[in-house]
Chain A
Amino acid sequence: MKKFRFVLVALMVLSMVLAACSSKKADTPAPVAAGPVEPTATFHYYLTDKPTTFDPAMASDVSTMQVIQNVYSGLVMNNSKGEVVNDMAAKVDISPDGKVYTFTLKDATFSDGSKVTAKDYVRSIVRAMNPALASPVADSYLDDIAGIHAFLGKRDALDKQKSDKKITDDDYSKQLAAAYADMVKAPGVEAKDDKTVVITLADAAAYFLAKMTYPTAYVVHASAPADKPIVASPENVKVAIGTGPFTLDSYVEGSKVVLKRNAKFYGDKALVAIVEESVISQDAAQLAAYQGGQIDMSPLPPTDYPRIKGDAALSKEILEYASARVNYFALNQFVFEPAKDVRVRQAFAMAIDKDKLNQVVYNGTQFPANGVLPPSIPGSLGTNVQALKFDAAKAKDLLKQAGYGEGGKPLTLKLTYRAKNETIQRWAEFLQNQFKTNLGVTVELDPMEWSKLLEASSKKNVLQSFLLGWSADYIDPQDFLTILLHGGAPYNRYGYANKDFDAILDKADKMAPGAARFAEYSKAEQLAVTEAGFIPTHFGKSLFLVKPYIKGLEYGAMGILPLNHLSVNK
């Protein structure tokens, strides 16, 4: 009996861990049929986060885009230089008034073999706007299209009525559905014939094609539900049918995405058979996986940069790449009264030693920012910008002229930034120190929870000053200058207002694409820099380690790696 009880205890312990030994075999990809020219290699890549969705209409973060952009595709795309080039479109015609875009399609099929027609594009773009999908990105990218523009106007009016309690929830839903139904009838996107997509804009917008490179304009298969997103789940790898160079082969939720070469792809077919993307969030784990040979490419954290740089073998594997991101210090004129004086803003701008910031805080892994536009954005002045160079004496003098600092009114400032991030904390402390030493301004540090900071900064009238950044939504100067600094822009959270500046942008935003248009943005950039509309501190640079046997790697300007041009030459 005693033995029995003992066995029972053991069984109970076992029963608590019942599932322990029943681990499923990993979904190892089936080997690709070895034809004479079919590639067989596997590229082992990483994702920093698990994909948030398998639906191009919903994609908003880098890890998700990395999957989406290789599985789906659209009319146009960015090449590695950031230029907009044709993708599934064989030809794009723009009407003289810049309002009508006519796309002629190449012969293309979905990965299930069905033909892509112009109607698929109409359905996909209309679907992305469906309120039931609640896409966080669709309105930003598709709002220039005539029917969608009108729909968004109605939707915003309804939202306002709802928040003012002038409309019941039921009426809100009904009217929103009606507005959407109207839009579906005349979206501004039409299929002229099987091969021709015509898009009419509400107003000329030269950056429109750049916006069309984003997945919200990608084509989805007719089987994609019209009112439900394709969620990122293991079952949905078969539902996520795209037209890209790869197909989704399997997904171990939160752990690994396996992509398989799409032999039916209309463009440059992939040079590898399989891409395995392992989800690895932690810096040290990414490096360990790279050094252990489990992944062929890894991000290189700035903290490890000096060590790796000093390593004879590993330093040869470093890949540096300028990302389209600007990080800035914003003096909020809505709240911090002295910032309305241009001299005060200039004084703050000139009090920052940006080279030292880059060395001290980032180990030299970023680019000191003298302009507003990251160097990879066309129109960027880059090194030609007439910068407000670091000059402590001049800065102090400017502040004095404005009546603050020594001999004037003492100045104190509250600086708000993202909490619980060591690098951002050091960025803030560095500025605090610079403003104290170079301007005599006392800065109170105010770390704030990320989502609260986002809310507070978007309300405009809350924060005195803050640290944030902006990454390109699409490769066009409009996405930085108009979106961030135009007097009427929703993202102008610091109150920069200059009618001349706005006039340049209003004109440039509607000009025909080309060099003359970019020159206008360069003018605007210089103005924003001189007037210190907001104060950029550094542009982003991405650092990676890449195994020497990986060839043909060309990073997209948006930080997404196109997987169909690289090869594994082991």
Chain B
Amino acid sequence: MAVPGVGCSDFPQRGDSALIAFTLRRLLALIPTLLVITAITFFMGFAAPGDPISTVLGERASTAQVAALKAQYGLDKPPLVQYFKFLGGALHGDFGRSYFYAGRPVIEMVGTGFGTSLKIGGVAALYAALFGMILGIIAAVNRNRWPDHLAMFFAVVGVSIPGFVLAIALMYLFGVHLKVLPTVGWGEPKHYILPVLVLGTRSAAFIARITRSAMLDVIGQDYVRTARAKGLSQRVVILKHAVKNALIPVITVLGTTMGSLITGTYIIETIFGIPGVGRISLDGIFQRDYQVIQVSTMLIATVFVLVNLVVDMMYGVVDPRIRYS
């Protein structure tokens, strides 16, 4: 095994088996996690007042019609029977059909929505990470000077403004007054700009603050002083020595925000008309569309587990002292 810190090829080999075992363990843990989650959401769905059939029929729901449709969809069976039917179907890749969207396979609906949220959330996460870190580094390097104040002003504002307020403000500025960006629609690159700004700004602001304090902490450490004493330029000291060691807290923050960014946000998706999974899942709850609630919850849970796994793996990459045992 190569000695850490020597040669580019050390990482994939170092602790290989430990890392694989760690990953497998975490992936296996997904199975009971998902079972518990499906059970909880399923029975909570039933405990909630109302049912999907009344929602579909609306004001014209008569008792005879409700009974006929419930029988047709098997909703008149005991919840436990319905749950095992769902599980049985899920094991065979059949996640059921939507009640509200007249028989649309739920997996297609939620899958399409998830793809959309993943794209927009991914870009937002990238924007938040890059912009936030750059801002944080600039602030730390220029501590107590105007760039620091400016960056931290942005950070405070960014964290404080609620997403929907920012969304409406940007919409009116760029869509109504300047007429340079579309405020609705989905599919073209220009449709990303406003939602990404709204989605990512809060995280960017948060990451900027975290990066700044982590950087300040690192800059004061002995090895940075040593690097400076060696006569290295400020750029090399900051980018090569300081930034990397300031990454751990930033990754932690990224991990927590990333999960929520890519699983979609109802309000932003609704305002900008983005057909993402956040909207699909919340509409599913309002419409009592049980299968949609099930599948989107399972998917969101899986994403959170996977994102956390990736974050844990990144710790090891950034800081080789971290071991997966």
Contact = CB atoms under 8 A, between A and B. Distances in A.
Interface in B267-308: 270-275, 279-280, 286, 288, 307
A58 B69 CA distance: 13
Interface in A217-250: 228-229, 231-233
A255 B280 CA distance: 12
Q: Give the one of A55, A134, A160 with max B CB within 10 A.
A: A134
A52 interface: yes
B11 interface: yes
Residue among B49, B240, B262 facing the most chain A CB atoms (10 A cut-off): B49
Residue among A8, A254, A288 with the highest chain B CB neighbour number at 10 A: A254
B8 A17 contact: no
Contact of B64 (A52, A454, A490): A490
A8 B9 CA distance: 12
Interface in B27-72: 48-69, 71-72
B275 A252 contact: yes
Interface string B98-135: 00111111001100110110110111011001000000
B313 interface: yes
A282 B63 contact: no
A469 interface: yes
B186 A285 contact: no
A163 interface: yes
Contact of B126 (A20, A172, A233, A459): A20
Interface string A461-474: 00000001111010
Nearest to B7: A1
A16 interface: yes
A1 B7 CA distance: 6
B158 to A, nearest CB: 20
Looking at B59, B189, B275, the one whose CB has the most chain A CB atoms below 10 A away is: B59
A289 interface: yes
Contacts of A294: 175, 182-185
B309 to A, nearest CB: 11
Interface stretch (A110-118, A364-372, A444-452): A444-452
A9 B318 contact: yes
Contact of A256 (B61, B115, B185): B185
Nearest to A158: B71
A459 B63 contact: yes
B175 A288 contact: yes
B139 to A, nearest CB: 21
B187 interface: yes
A306 interface: no
B59 to A, nearest CB: 6
A162 interface: yes
A253 interface: yes
A156 interface: yes
Interface residues of B, number: 91
A132 to B, nearest CB: 8
A454 B57 CA distance: 9
B59 A452 contact: no
A26 interface: yes
A159 B48 CA distance: 24
B188 to A, nearest CB: 5
Contacts of A27: 187
B220 interface: no
Interface centre among A52, A131, A470 (most CB of B within 10 A): A52
A458 interface: yes
A23 B179 contact: no
Contacts of A280: 184, 273
Interface in A118-167: 131-134, 136, 139-140, 155-156, 159-160, 162-163
Given A281-B273, A285-B273, A8 B11 contact: yes
Q: Helix, strand, loop or mixed for chain B's interface?
A: helix
Contacts of B50: 449-452, 454-455
B187 A451 contact: no
Interface residues of A, number: 83
B64 A252 contact: no
Contact of B171 (A21, A233, A285): A285
B275 A52 contact: no
Contacts of A469: 59
B282 to A, nearest CB: 12
Contacts of B228: none
A60 interface: yes
A40 interface: no
A13 B307 CA distance: 11
Given A23-B119, A134-B73, A233-B108, A5 B187 contact: no
B211 to A, nearest CB: 14
A12 B310 contact: yes
A305 B115 CA distance: 38
B187 A23 contact: yes
A22 B176 CA distance: 28
A9 B274 contact: no
A64 B275 CA distance: 16
B102 A55 contact: yes
Nearest to A231: B104
Given A17-B126, A233-B108, A294-B183, A2 B57 contact: no
B217 interface: no
A289 B59 contact: no
Nearest to B261: A17
Contacts of A454: 50, 54-55, 57-59, 61
Nearest to B255: A16
Contacts of B69: 134, 136
A206 B74 CA distance: 36
A232 B280 CA distance: 14
Closest 7 CB pairs of A and B: A451-B50, A254-B275, A17-B122, A26-B187, A452-B49, A53-B102, A20-B122
27 contacts: A1-B6, A12-B317, A16-B310, A18-B122, A19-B119, A20-B126, A58-B102, A133-B103, A134-B69, A136-B65, A156-B64, A162-B71, A228-B103, A255-B274, A256-B187, A285-B184, A289-B175, A289-B183, A289-B184, A292-B175, A292-B179, A292-B182, A294-B175, A450-B286, A455-B54, A459-B63, A490-B62
